Structure 1
Amino acid sequence: MTDTVDKPELDTEDPEYAANLRRATLASTVGSALEYFDFALYGLSSALIFNRLFFTDLDPNIGIVASLASFGVGFLARPLGGLFFGTIGDRIGRKWVLVVTILLMGGATTLIGALPTYEAIGIWAPIMLTVLRLLQGFGAGAEQAGATVLMAEYSPVKKRGFFSSLPFIGIQLGTLLAALVFSFLASLPDEIFLTWAWRVPFLMSFLLILVAIFIRMKLKETPTFVELEKHEQVTDRPIRNVFTKGLPGIVVGAGLRMAENGGSYMFQTVALAFVTSSAAVTVDRSLATWGVTIGSLIGCFSIPLTGWLSDRVGRKPVYRAGAVFMLLYAFPAWWALSLGIPWLVIAVVAIGIGVAVNTMLGPQCAMLPELFGNRHRYLGVAMAREISAVLAGGLAGVIGAYMLAVSGGNWILMAVYMATLAAITTASTFLVPETRGRDLFRTEDAVRLSTDETGPR
């Protein structure tokens, strides 16, 4: 099967199209905010307090490893969720999948806030925590992929980089909200913070769920999927399709995310564990989280800026600039963290998240959907995102915490690890064609075509 026929041009002046674009932007933004509120909240908690609430029978250093491992298991469920929901998204459409995933993901987060601790029920506490984390990851496995595909398919072609990046401000808002709430709660006395106050932000997820479902129920299906249905080109075997025709795109797409995803979670979790729990460095936990807060605030501007820039100069050069920056930043950043100077810790984490990570995230929002053909785009994006989430994001916390525990807080090992992730992503930018302006009604993958075939059509 080749390209679809009679590909329509999106009428950006049509009031109905403009209204649908606004709904899609709002629906994707709220979903992204909830996902990253959940994940940032869990990441902060696993780095700073879960070892004291759910893994109290272990040595403190091993308790942190176990706590971050519970954070990591959510990433193991993400590819399975991406595979399951991505298949449905390519067969019945994007809208209903996004309703189900937000309910599953947010519901699991809310229930974490109601869990009894190890002191109350013993070994069942970390088991229940891990199960809810798995459910959270299963829902999240298709949530961000769905938001990415939804916005790319709705966006005007010449402004796709900018419009596709707008919902990813939700990532920053969710992370920012989690960091702000956690910074305030962490400043409370331990007897308040560790008994009931830590539960409040998890329970708050319920409100975000209601808002997200209300918005998504009013959303219409994307123009590209409607076109597939119109010409009876919806695939009935998306899994076979994506792992044969789409495999090169999955591999390269996962490589592109190693630095962005791995770097993000290293700065949000491992760096905080390093500066608050390492024998060599001790920074107050409430101060350390301000780096995440400021970095997320910077991202509200850097993401749409780099998305806009990718519409002008191309996705590849902007993406490569972010990867190279992280490669050069890794060693001075971890050395600076090892000094344990509070204001320097805040600055390092803020620049790492706000500049290094988000310079890649801006163009990525349009670039990943542009790598895949219309018949298996949702599943392709989900697999590229979630395989990399396991290899980079999930393992970053576990490997990082283990390195810190066995090395006595050796910052050089952490710098080498981060630089390796950045080197993989930098190399991956040389393996993809330029996708700016690619026709998303096409059914072939970009990475299966020569570079001169991937431009506007």
Structure 2
Amino acid sequence: MHTASPTADQKRTLRRAIAASVVGNTLEWYDFFLYATAAALVFGELFFPVGADPLVNTLVSFAGYAVGFAARPLGGLVFGHVGDKYGRKASLFWTLAIMGLATFLIGLLPTFAQIGIWAPIALVLLRVFQGIAAGGEWGGGVLLITENAPAGREGLFGALSQTGVGLGFVLSTFAFYLAGLLPHDDFVSWGWRVPFLVSISIFAVGLFIRFRVSETSDFQAAEADGPQHAPLVEVLRRHPRELLVGIGARLAETCGSHLFVTFALAYGKAVGAKVDTLVLGVTLGMLADSVMMPVFGALSDRFGRRPIYMFGALAMAAFAYPFFLMLESGTTGVILLAFVIGNGLCHAAMIGVQPAMYSEMFSARVRYSGLAMAHEVSSLIVGFSPLIATALYAHYRSPMPVALFLGVICLVSASSLLLWRRPA
């Protein structure tokens, strides 16, 4: 990482790194989250029509959604190795290319009514490729900025990489919001495909920007010490504590994001909230999330990573039940406020701190692999949370068990933070 007073060349490198990370992350996560929105709204009906109860079809659809998270550790392993051995830039090119192609092909898939069982098989296979790409994307996008950030401001600048995740959410849900304005029959017939198909024309922008960025200074310094042949083995040997802390700390952020966005769409629809209101709520919530991430990142530079992250985990546990009650209200303003608080306050306090906190856990020679594995193993553990939440609600017909489930996950993350020892 750079000194506190960067030179003009270092500032230019940092600007390019920010652009490459934010734009690339935005496009990457736009593609990834399109599936989440479609899984909640239409995929159950079109690709997984297993029963007469729409909630059951949605439940099966979320199982396909979770498969992407099962594939993410594989992506973290593969692209973490590539990023530590050959460079952050090479890894990030391939993650974006794979994600863009898989998403475009989803938009072309025939439905169950057209080709039968092959439709869900093909959809789940493409979801696996999305998961592999997403698993390698996060760590590289983070390191592109944090390894070029001025000393003492890693929290602020690192959080900017996360705004791409939030903006990807915003773009994907807003695209579905616009598609949802079509007559219902048109939306189900072809309208849902449009957000997937347009991604092929915009992901090229991200590839162009990433071609122009330089390797990070930390990677260049680590490379000068000699090639890294087995970064994951070194992570397991030298950083086992940090890896476990990283996995545990992220559970609350990931689970809360799934429940406050993906499951919330299905839950709100089940309790009678208008779909366009729910999608607008997600859009506003993730926009607030993106705005607040750098705020919490900057606060972590001043007050420490752990206190800010702990606040987010405990606030999410406390807000879980009120969140679902607000969705039940049927009042547009209350529903929108629920999404803004849940994502823009509780979630942003954790995800805004993650880049700097996780970068500080691992040495530069194995940092990409360490970040990727901590991040993606936690995704695997709680990637099934929309499925679990839907099953709990389908059985109890009450949001209380779902809120308790999220509360327990948040307490696990808060406990994990107590085990972290920040390096001097």
| Counterpart pick for 2:51 among 39, 55, 58 | 58
SS in structure 1 of the partner of residue 198 of structure 2: helix
Residue in 1 aligned with 2:407?
A: 419
Shift of 1:42: 1.1
- The 2-side partners of 1:177 and 1:257 are apart by 24
Residue in 1 aligned with 2:233?
A: 240
Does structure 1 retain, via aligned residues, the 8 Å contact 2:68–2:128?
yes
Residue in 1 aligned with 2:134?
A: 140
Q: What whole-Å deviation, never above 9, does each CA across 1:210-240 have from its counterpart, x for those lacking one?
A: 01110111111111111122232x3211121
**Stretches of 4+ aligned residues off by more than 6 angstroms:** none
| Counterpart pick for 1:381 among 371, 379, 384 | 371
| Counterpart pick for 1:348 among 338, 348, 352 | 338
Residue in 2 aligned with 1:256?
A: 249
Shift of 1:100: 0.6
- The 2-side partners of 1:275 and 1:132 are apart by 27
Does structure 2 retain, via aligned residues, the 8 Å contact 1:12–1:18?
no
SS in structure 2 of the partner of residue 286 of structure 1: helix
For structure 2, the 5+ residue unaligned runs are none
> TM-score w.r.t. structure 1 length?
0.90
Shift of 1:11: 7.7
Identical positions, percent: 38
Counterpart amino acid of 1:417?
F
**Pair 1:98–1:193, CA change in 2 (3 A):** same
Please list, as runs of the form range in 1=range in 2, the aligned pairs for 1:191-270 lying within 5 A after superposition.
Answer: 191-232=185-226, 234-270=227-263
Q: What whole-Å deviation, never above 9, does each CA across 1:138-158 have from its counterpart, x for those lacking one?
A: 111010111112211111111
Q: What whole-Å deviation, never above 9, does each CA across 1:182-227 have from its counterpart, x for those lacking one?
A: 1121122111101111111111211231011101111111111111
Shift of 1:399: 0.8
- The 1-side partners of 2:42 and 2:14 are apart by 41
- The 1-side partners of 2:32 and 2:343 are apart by 15
RMSD between superposed Cα atoms in Å: 1.5
Does structure 2 retain, via aligned residues, the 8 Å contact 1:324–1:426?
yes
Shift of 1:10: 4.2
For structure 1, the 5+ residue unaligned runs are 1-7, 435-453
Does structure 2 retain, via aligned residues, the 8 Å contact 1:90–1:377?
yes
Residue in 2 aligned with 1:89?
A: 83
| Counterpart pick for 2:277 among 278, 287, 293 | 287
**Pair 1:39–1:350, CA change in 2 (3 A):** farther
Does structure 1 retain, via aligned residues, the 8 Å contact 2:293–2:348?
yes
- The 1-side partners of 2:141 and 2:108 are apart by 28
Residue in 2 aligned with 1:308?
A: 298
Shift of 1:9: 5.3
Please list, as runs of the form range in 1=range in 2, the aligned pairs for 1:81-230 lying within 5 A after superposition.
Answer: 81-230=75-224
- The 2-side partners of 1:9 and 1:323 are apart by 31
- The 1-side partners of 2:199 and 2:398 are apart by 36
Does structure 1 retain, via aligned residues, the 8 Å contact 2:32–2:99?
no
| Greater Cα shift, 130-139 or 53-62 | 53-62
**Pair 1:9–1:45, CA change in 2 (3 A):** closer
SS in structure 2 of the partner of residue 49 of structure 1: helix
- The 2-side partners of 1:301 and 1:203 are apart by 28
| Greater Cα shift, 331-340 or 349-358 | 331-340
SS in structure 1 of the partner of residue 272 of structure 2: coil
